[in-house]
Structure formats: C-alpha cells, structure tokens
A = this chain, B = another copy of it.
Amino acid sequence: MNKQLILVKRPEGLPDASTWTLKTNPIPTISDGEFLVQQYYVSLDPAMRGWMNDSKSYIEPIAIGDVMRAGSIGKIIKSNHADFNIGDTVTGWGGVQQYAIGTEKTWYKVDTKLAPMPMYLGTLGMPGMTAYFGILEVGKIKAGDVVLVSAAAGAVGSIVGQIAKLKGCYVVGIAGGKDKCNYLKNELGFDATIDYKSENIFDAVKETCPKGIDVYFDNVGGEILEAALSRLRMHARVVICGAISQYNNLEEVKGPKNYMSLLVNRATMQGMIVMDYAPNYGKAAKDMGQWLMEGKLKSKEDIYEGIENFHKTFIRLFSGDKKGKLVLKVIE
C-alpha cells in the first residue's frame, strides 16, 4: 500500500497539522513509458509554503485533494521505459508519498556511488542549483566582493556562502543562534556571521560589512532585507531568492521601505527561479560534485523519519530548528 499526504485545506499563516491528511491507497499501476518509484526521501523546502496558496505564481497551486507536492528520490521497482530500469536511483517530483509514478520528463537518474541519496535533494538538487546560479549568474560575484547571505545555515544559503568563498569573496552569513553561527565560521569558513536572534541586524550588518555590501543574497525578506539595503555599495546586486520571514504572514507582506537605496547606489534587485537554469544543471552538478570531492564544499542534510511526521518536520523550516537541507525519510 501507498501512504500519501493529501492537502485538504489552504492554510492561513503557519500551517497546522490539519492542513493535510494521511491516506493509504493501493500502489498505483504504470502505463507505457512510465516507471514506479519506491520513494526513500522527500525534500522539505520553504517554497512549498507558497505552492499551498491559491494565487498565481511561478507554478500552479497544489490542488486541494492532491498529494502534497515535493521533490523526492527513490529506486525504480517496476518499469515500462526502456532507459529506466529496476534498481535505478531516480530523483524527481514524487510528492509526499511512498510510491510515485515517474516519467522521463520530470525524473532523472543519479549515481549513489558518488553521493548519498539525501544529497541529491540538497547540494546536488534544487537548493544547490539555486545557490549556484543565484550567486554566480544573478549575483555576478567576483573576487574581493563583500557577500552577505541570509538563512546562511540553510540548504541554499550554506552553499551560496561556500561558493562565494571559493570565488575569493568576503562572506558574511546571517543565521539564528550561536550554534549555527559557529558552524558557519568554523566548519564552512565564513568570514563573519550575524546571529539575528540576539543581535540588532542593522548594527550587525554595519559592523560586519564596514565598507558595505556588493552582493546580498536574500532568502528571508522583511527587516533583514532592509538592513542589507541600508548598506549597499555602488552597483550592488541584490538576489531575491526567497522571503521566508513573510511566507506565513497573516498581515500584509512588508515591502523594503528603503528600496530607494537601489537608486542612490545604482544597484540592482533581481528575482530568480531555479527552473530557468535547467539547461545548465549538468555544468553546475559537475562543478559542485568536483568541489564536494575536493572537500572545498561541505554538504549537510538534516534527516527526519516517517511520513506521519511530515507536519512537525515541515514547520522546522520556519522555526529554524534544523541545520542544512531538511529531508524526510518516507520508506519504512
């Protein structure tokens, strides 16, 4: 049987457990060209919160009654596709369930000899690709740049900061709590950190970036975005990747009231969606794989177990009670 997590209502604010229901259905049957994936891990990402809203965005909302959308990884256990064989490890959009039907359009094979499964949902998956293209293509970093990144201990932020270090930048990471800040400095090699839970963010940005910021990589929005805008250097680039501080807002989203800093500093604020870079994922994966093997890039996954624990794991994205890529093991 196939345990599936079904979206049953649209949440207001932080989703509670009644947002989903767990159903047990027969394992689906596959048609020509399809294959059946036994899913091992599903990916938990802040963007999932946005997909639950009934509003136009870069992707269709998840319909009420549908399986909760999620990236996933697992092994093929049946196949009607010549190029996808039983035993292959594949990653794609399997959703929060134990068995998923795969097609060649939205799934691809990965090699678990090179990296463990969860890493393909993080550093070698969407978050890693987001970091790679966001900081290199949108942020256009060059050696010597001062790079500030928020949610710096997260799946995207931790890779952004490390890539910026690899490229010769001075990197400051913003994270919640001493532990995360120590991790960024001591394990990932960040130059400086800001603990937004205990420091005044405006003062701390000024102190850690006394000459200002060349690139700000924003995962959080809100006051931290304003603090970054207040310290831009000339021709700075602000990469808008997410706004997790605003995703569960019941009130209106807070727009950055000092956005005119873009004018004063001739700066650019640009939004990005990782899917746009799909044609170049191969190049990114090659670079990232190389850096991982050389020990220049560290990947951390925070793995929880049990599809029935989805809700309490999911809300760790917003409480910040996790380190690195949040992943849920759904195979029993």
Contact = CB atoms under 8 A, between A and B. Distances in A.
A242 B259 CA distance: 11
A208 to B, nearest CB: 19
Nearest to A249: B257
A241 to B, nearest CB: 7
Contacts of A260: 221, 240, 243, 246, 253, 271
Contacts of A257: 252-255
A266 B243 CA distance: 15
A267 B255 CA distance: 16
Interface string A208-252: 000000000000010000100000000000001111001000001
Contact of A259 (B57, B58, B255, B265): B255
A273 interface: yes
Nearest to A267: B271
A269 interface: yes
A264 to B, nearest CB: 5
A303 interface: no
Given A268-B270, A269-B269, A270-B268, A253 B262 contact: no
A264 B240 CA distance: 10
A263 interface: yes
Contacts of A265: 58, 271
A276 interface: yes
What is the interface residue range for chain A against chain B? 20 to 34
Contact of A271 (B56, B256, B264, B270): B264
A42 to B, nearest CB: 23
A184 to B, nearest CB: 24
Interface string A36-67: 00000000000000000000111000000000
A268 B269 contact: yes
Contacts of A262: 240, 269-271
Contacts of A57: 264
A257 B246 CA distance: 10
A226 B271 CA distance: 16
Contacts of A263: 58, 240-243, 271-273
A257 B242 CA distance: 14
A271 B259 CA distance: 9
A242 to B, nearest CB: 8
A258 interface: yes
A273 B263 CA distance: 7
A246 B240 CA distance: 24
